[in-house]
Amino acid sequence: MTEPSPWSYGPLVLGCGLFGGIGGTPQLVGRGMDEQAAFDTMDEALALGITLFDTAEAYARGASETMIGSWLAQRPSEATDKVALATKVAPGFLSGDPDARLDAAFLETRFSSSLQRLAVDSIELLYTHRPDDATPIEQTLEGLEAIRLSGRCRRLGACNVDAVQLTAALDAAERLGIQGYQVVQNRYSLLQPKEEQAVRSLCVDRDVAFTAYSPLASGALTGKYPRDGGLPPDSRLALRPDGNEELLTPAVHDAIDRLRDAADRHGVACGAMALAWLLHRTDVNAPIIGPARLTPHLGLAAQALDVSLSAGEVSQIESWFASATTTG
């Protein structure tokens, strides 16, 4: 039932979680990029050959999707015809509706609203933003399959799943004789070098694409955060702590210093080297690249695409962080 080669979108994906806010955090709506900065970022992405734009209904309460729709409407078709869109439906417990179930009716309502904000009839990829263990996975998959068969999305994906949840979903799709999940989007970076190892191995075994969000660990891998633990008040980690700040131990700072030295040898920024490491991982199809607040918004991505690493360098970089995160 599954199509071959589920990943055909290039080595990088544009993450649009900073358009209008910072992710799905309600109190940070308006603290992200305004429309002009978002437009500039999408223009940069297209110039770099990045053609899959990743958003979610939860990002800035839908403002991210609305900005993408406005950008599409204001750019010539010869440019926008190259763009593929991915969005996500969040289960009810993440959006103030804890009694809702992630079933066909819920998915249809939420996805239809996303299409209206994006001002398109169909998209490339529809994700569930998180699993809903209160809903039988068969109900979720059947609801997603109904949307896919309607022609309004081509492929289906899951975000933030563990190996047990993913196995259950893949097995259920096989029993039902439907497509099921072809793409997984989970957090993964040098700051968590062993995180999601079981999921990545499962994806390889079951021919599921794996994409990595937060590849720079909320900016920690750019080397911009000081050793004294003080975070700039307007920084991503200060505004939206996500656990990465707790990993910035002295040993990890030492590893970041070594990463910076390696980046200097390649003539790129520290963050670009962290992205290049991911680009060379055979079990990662693409990092999800979030833009910087300053122009060029995708400068690190542009640098990373030009870095060539040997297999030995990839292993060495990973070893620095594996040792640091093990020893603390």
Q: For residue range 296-327, list pLDDT tens digits in order.
A: 999 999 999 999 999 999 999 999 999 887 75
pLDDT, one tens digit per residue, over 12-39 is 999 999 999 988 888 888 889 999 999 9
The residue to which tokens 């603390």 are assigned: 328
- Which residues fall within 8 angstroms of residue 67, CB to CB, at 6 or more apart? 16, 19, 20, 35, 38, 39
**Statement: residue 7 has pLDDT above 60:** yes
Q: Which helix (H) or strand (E) holds 154?
A: strand 153-159
pLDDT band at 196 (very low <50, low <70, confident <90, very high): confident
* pLDDT (0 to 100) of residue 294: 83
* Calculated CA dihedral for residues 31, 37, 39, 41, nearest 10 degrees: -100
Task: pLDDT band for 207, please (50, 70, 90 cuts).
Answer: very high
Q: In degrees rounded to 5, what are phi and psi of residue 128?
A: -90, 130
Name which of 313, 291, 164, 129 is nearest 215 in CA terms. 291
Distances (CA, A) of 40 to 10, 36, 64, 73, 295: 20, 6, 14, 14, 9
Q: What mean pLDDT is predicted for residues 192-218? A: 93
The model's confidence at residue 1, banded by pLDDT at 50, 70 and 90, is: very low
Res 326: pLDDT: 74
Quickly count: other Cβ atoms within 10 Å of residue 177's Cβ: 9
What would the mean pLDDT of 68-94 be, rounded to a whole number? Answer: 95
Rounded distance, CA 304 to CA 300, Å?
6
For residue 306, which of 276, 265, 278 has the smallest C-alpha distance?
276
pLDDT tier at 94, thresholds 50, 70, 90: confident
pLDDT band of residue 2 (cuts 50, 70, 90) is: very low
Model pTM? Answer: 0.94
Q: What is the mean pLDDT of the chain?
A: 92
Please name each of the domains of the chain with its CATH number: 1-187 (3.20.20.100), 224-284+291-328 (no CATH)
User: pLDDT class for 6, splitting at 50, 70, 90?
Assistant: confident
Task: Please give the average per-residue pLDDT across 255-268, as a whole number.
Answer: 97
- At position 39, the amino acid (one-letter code) is F
CA distance 84 to 80: 8
User: Comparing C-alpha atoms, which of 47, 41, 36 is closest to residue 14?
Assistant: 41
Q: Are strands 183-187 and 286-289 parallel, antiparallel or unpaired?
A: unpaired
**pLDDT per residue as tens digits for the range 151-165:** 999 999 999 999 999
Residue 4, pLDDT > 60, answer: no
